[in-house]
Structure formats: structure tokens, C-alpha cells
């Protein structure tokens, strides 16, 4: 019996790895232009970290975490809490006031698998810790926008403010009163959420709930003066940077720790409307986890969704992977010198393929085309006896003889010169 991967867990095969590497490299490149530094955390954390940060009454903590070891250990469902845990544990705030950190890696949630949603999924995560200024919010959002733009993607940016511990509780009370009045029309989930997590009712996807909440009070009308000022300055700073956005007063995000600015990068090109990336400010989180009273803002983007969307929107085409040379060794006594030459060429920076099975010339040239080799160097026993090989341009099929004299290092250097392979 064949053993297969677990449902919701997926291999990334060599055919698509080029795209993944391209996305990751573009992200590193863009993030580092903004002064971001990479951080890597373990995949396993104490369960308590996520209960205290994400919130006990959230879908993630209630139903979606992979928890074991007497429920004490959890596979991280997101990166922000882990970054904060590491930040506090190592006292990073003592070194400098503002930290810009990013990480790339797998996250785990026990959800129903569907297109673009896996149980092991991968995120790009960026956080700015220690800055309260609205311009920082705008700059971080602009960084996400720049990344998606450089990947060639078209997405819509939506923005909201979730207020703070001063203005959110009175709003919550007002919202609960409204929801209790409309209780009959709500879906079963929202009936329950009315008291556990009323804000989540605002972004319920069920049509009946969507209609009902149109009349719900808006948090944007209840912001305290500080939050109102902050939100105004974020919008102004985004306009200043030329980043288009829309206000969505129903956006609440699934995690409890968000305060003030929240945002999503959205697309309708993946079936139902989906977020490619999302994030927000979390001014109380670090203190809540036992750290100093400093604020933070961050976002996460889904690598699977970005990859799907790139295919869907026919975004930036990746250059096909190529080999510089395919060494065609024909016959027993050519194998040793050809393997030496391959080794010398690789040391010198060339990408080299070689077949040690002594298959026919025709079969090996076919393989050379399959791996996109630019050139083939054909070395038969007769040629080798004369100290030469045949160099074939795989595209034009032109052939010329090539001297194989001197050491393999010398042969390699001469070949590289002849092929003009750019070595970095």
C-alpha cells in the first residue's frame, strides 16, 4: 500500500519551487529595503502563548489549533505571538527602541481543507515593534503593497480602525444591545458570538447576517479622540504615499489582540473574496504577554494564496530554470575526465548536468533539451583520444570542435570563456 501525505498537507514539487523561491526572494528584497531583519522561531510553543495573545474565544484557539502533550504544546497557528514571545524573552527592546522583524515559514491550523487553504500553510510575516506613529502604519502597509505590486499582482486594500481599550468596550456594549434586538435573524454562530465575540458578527459571511449588520452601529463613529486622530493620520499618510485604499467598517480580523489600524489586501480572483494578506496594530499585546508597554503593528501574507493568484492573474513570468552545459560522455574511458570537467566547471560557478549511464548520443541530447541546457559538450572515445570534444549550441544546433587539453580546471576555464557563462 502506498503511503500518502495527510489531508491538508501538501508537497511543493520541483516544478513549482521556482515560483516559491521567487516570491520569498522578492519578499526578502522588498522587506530589507525597509530595514527589516529576519527572525526565525520554533514551530512548537506553549499553548498558553496563543490563548493569551490570540484570545480564548477565537475560532483559531477554540477549534483550529494542533495541540498535544496534555494540551501544553501547540504547533504555531500564526507568527505574531511567537515573534512577541521571542522579543520579550530576549529583551530586544533594551537594545534599540524600534525593531522591524520578518519571518517566513509554515503555520498550522486544523481547518477544513479547500482550494488555497491548507492545514500546513506558509506565511510571510512582518512586524514593526516599538513605534506608535501613524506614519509607521502607513509605511508598513505601503511595504505590503510594494511587495504585491512587484510580484505583478492586482489587489484591493481595505482599511479600518478597531479603536482601543478606551473606546472599544462602550462600543461593544452598544453593539451587543443592537445584536440582542436582532437576535432572531442571526445565524447560529452569531447568536453565540453576540456575547462571546460580538465584533466577529460584523464580518460573518452568511447573507442574512450581512444584511442585518448594515444597520449596526459603526466603531468608526465611536472612536475616542486619540484613535480618531490616529486613523485620520494613517489615511493621510497613505494618500501621501499614493497608496489607494477603501474604508471597510465591517473588517474586524479574527484575532483579539488588534487595536486601531487593521487592513487587508483582497482579491476576488480566487473564487469568493479572499484576503491575500492582512494585519493590524496590537498596542496591548506585548504588555499582555508580560513584556514592556510598547506597541506594534504587523501583517501576514499567505504564500499559497500569492502563488495561486500569480497563476490566476498571469502575473510576472518566471525565467525557466536552465543548465549551462550538459556533458555527454560516450564510452567508458570518457566518464572519468568528463566527471572531472563537470566538477571543475561547478567549482567555477557553472550549472552542469551529466549522465553517467553511457546512454546513446540521441538519448543524452534529448535529456539535455529537457533540462534546458544551453550547450552540450559531446565527448566520444575517438574525440577524447584526439584531445577534443564537440561543443553543440542546443538552440541553433551549431557544432564546433573544442580542445580538451591541460588540467580539468584549465579546460573548465576555457569552456566558460567560450560559452561566456556569466559567473557571479
Q: Which residues bind Zn ion (CB under 5 A)?
A: 163-164, 166-167, 187, 190, 204, 206, 209, 224, 227
What's the rounded Cα separation, in Å, for the pair 389 and 375? 12
Give min distance, CB of 205 to Zn ion, in A: 8
Nearer to Zn ion, 169 or 290 (CB): 169
Provide the minimum distance between the beta carbon of 59 and Zn ion in the complex, in angstroms, as a whole number: 13
Min CB(234)–Zn ion separation in Å: 14
Cβ nearer to Zn ion, comparing 101 with 219: 219
CB of 223 to Zn ion, least distance (A): 6
Residues 6+ apart with CB under 8 A from 52: 288, 289
If the CB atoms of residues 76 and 230 are measured against Zn ion, the closer one turns out to be 230
**What gap in Å lies between CA 314 and CA 317, rounded to an integer?**
8
| Phi and psi based region of residue 170 (left: phi greater than 0; alpha: psi -120 to 50; beta: remaining) | alpha
Q: Alpha-carbon distance 335 to 341, whole Å?
A: 10
Angle at 253 between CA 170 and CA 121, to 5 degrees: 160
State which residue, 209 or 415, has the beta carbon closest to Zn ion.
209
Nearer to Zn ion, 207 or 332 (CB): 207
* Helical axes 134-150 vs 14-33, angle rounded to 10°: 150
Beta carbon of residue 211, minimum distance to Zn ion (angstroms, whole number):
11
| Rounded Cα distance, 415 and 411, in Å | 6
Closer residue to Zn ion, CB minimum distance, 36 or 167: 167
- Minimum distance of Zn ion from residue 102's CB (angstroms): 28
How far is residue 284 from each of residues 51, 257, 297, 358, 404, measured CA to CA in Å? 15, 7, 11, 67, 69
Residue 132 exposed, middle or buried by CB count within 10 Å (0-12, 13-18, 19+): middle
Amino acid at each position: 500500500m502506498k503511503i500518502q501525505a495527510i489531508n491538508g498537507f501538501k508537497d511543493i514539487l520541483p516544478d513549482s519551487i521556482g515560483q516559491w523561491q521567487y516570491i520569498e526572494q522578492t519578499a526578502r528584497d522588498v522587506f530589507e529595503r525597509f530595514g527589516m531583519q529576519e527572525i526565525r522561531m520554533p514551530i512548537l510553543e506553549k499553548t498558553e502563548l496563543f490563548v493569551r495573545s490570540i484570545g480564548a474565544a477565537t475560532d483559531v484557539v477554540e477549534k483550529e489549533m494542533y495541540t498535544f502533550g496534555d494540551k501544553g504544546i501547540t504547533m504555531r497557528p500564526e507568527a505574531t505571538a511567537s515573534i512577541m514571545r521571542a522579543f520579550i524573552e530576549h529583551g530586544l527592546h533594551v537594545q534599540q527602541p524600534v525593531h522591524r522583524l520578518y519571518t517566513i515559514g509554515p503555520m498550522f491550523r486544523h481547518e477544513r481543507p479547500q482550494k488555497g487553504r491548507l492545514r500546513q500553510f506558509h506565511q510571510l510575516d512582518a512586524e514593526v515593534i516599538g513605534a506608535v506613529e501613524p506614519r509607521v502604519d502607513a509605511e508598513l502597509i505601503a511595504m505590503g503593497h510594494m511587495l504585491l505590486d512587484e510580484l505583478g499582482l492586482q489587489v484591493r486594500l481595505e482599511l479600518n480602525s478597531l479603536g482601543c481599550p478606551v473606546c472599544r468596550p462602550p462600543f461593544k456594549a452598544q453593539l451587543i444591545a443592537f445584536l440582542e434586538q436582532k437576535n432572531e435573524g442571526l445565524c447560529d454562530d452569531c447568536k453565540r458570538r453576540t456575547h462571546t465575540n460580538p465584533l466577529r458578527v460584523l464580518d460573518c459571511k452568511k447573507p442574512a447576517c450581512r444584511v442585518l449588520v448594515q444597520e449596526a452601529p459603526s466603531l468608526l463613529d465611536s472612536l475616542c479622540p486619540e484613535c480618531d486622530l490616529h486613523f485620520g493620520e494613517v489615511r493621510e499618510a497613505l494618500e501621501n504615499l499614493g497608496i489607494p485604499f477603501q474604508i471597510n467598517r465591517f473588517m474586524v480580523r479574527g484575532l483579539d489582540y488588534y487595536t486601531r489600524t487593521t487592513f487587508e489586501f483582497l482579491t476576488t480572483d480566487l473564487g469568493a473574496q479572499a484576503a491575500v494578506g492582512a494585519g493590524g496594530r496590537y498596542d496591548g499585546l506585548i504588555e499582555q504577554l508580560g513584556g514592556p508597554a510598547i506597541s506594534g503593528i504587523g501583517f501576514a501574507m499567505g504564500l499559497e494564496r500569492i502563488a495561486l493568484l500569480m497563476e490566476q492573474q498571469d502575473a510576472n513570468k518566471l525565467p525557466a530554470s536552465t543548465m549551462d552545459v550538459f556533458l555527454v560522455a560516450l564510452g567508458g574511458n570518457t566518464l572519468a575526465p568528463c566527471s572531472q570537467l563537470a566538477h571543475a566547471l561547478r567549482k567555477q560557478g557553472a550549472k552542469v548536468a551529466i549522465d553517467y549511464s553511457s546512454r546513446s548520443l540521441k538519448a543524452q541530447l534529448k535529456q539535455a533539451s529537457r533540462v534546458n541546457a544551453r550547450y552540450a559538450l559531446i565527448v566520444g572515445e575517438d574525440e577524447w583520444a584526439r584531445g577534443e570534444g564537440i561543443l553543440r549550441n542546443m538552440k541553433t544546433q551549431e557544432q564546433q570542435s573544442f580542445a580538451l587539453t591541460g588540467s580539468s580546471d584549465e579546460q573548465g576555464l576555457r569552456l566558460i570563456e567560450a560559452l561566456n557563462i556569466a559567473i557571479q
